[in-house]
A and B are shown apart, each in its own frame.
Chain A
Amino acid sequence: DIQMTQSPSSLSASVGDRVTITCRASQGISNDVAWYQQKPGKVPKLLIYAASTLQSGAPSRFSGSGSGTDFTLTISSLQPEDVATYYCQKYYSVPLTFGGGTKVEIK
């Protein structure tokens, strides 16, 4: 099975900071990666798919990049409402797997 290793597991940053979260696949998976935001007590929400396509309605400060094995989610200017846990997910093959999550907090 292809594993998704996400880092860091948590981070604390100031409002306005640029935040970067990475996900590494154990094998090449083209650009078959999505990113989700899950706020405390809420349902995961799709932010990015196909590694870099912004989901309709997602704020433009979120962006994704990468292909093959290394993927990145970037928040260009962290806002208080971005406090959440972020997950990557690959859909290249079964089993569909998620990264372990990155908890983002405000410093």
Chain B
Amino acid sequence: QAGLTQPPSVSKGLRQTATLTCAGSSSNVGDQGAAWLQQHQGHPPKLLSYRNNGRPSGISERFSASRSGDTASLTITGLQPEDEGDYYCSAWDSSLSVWVFGGGTKLTVL
């Protein structure tokens, strides 16, 4: 089953802005958007953004999600050391009737 495409790694400096991308298709990201999850080593993932780009309670305004066509993006402003980790996108694929994940992006804050 086809997944979503994310760059394997992104590196940015402290207090800079990082934009992570997630490329899908018209049957998944393009249809109902993508959710974004953050995972730190040894911990379960944490939801950062719903598929409608809304933020769950308690998630910093520094995290904002958007979508253009079949590609979803997560922008993180004012990068902090604790933002380092793995970021995954996920979407419901309406033609396959399955959920799909991206391969994840490892964010390094320099």
The answer to whether A binds B is: no
Residue ranges of B at the interface with A (Cβ–Cβ < 8 Å): none
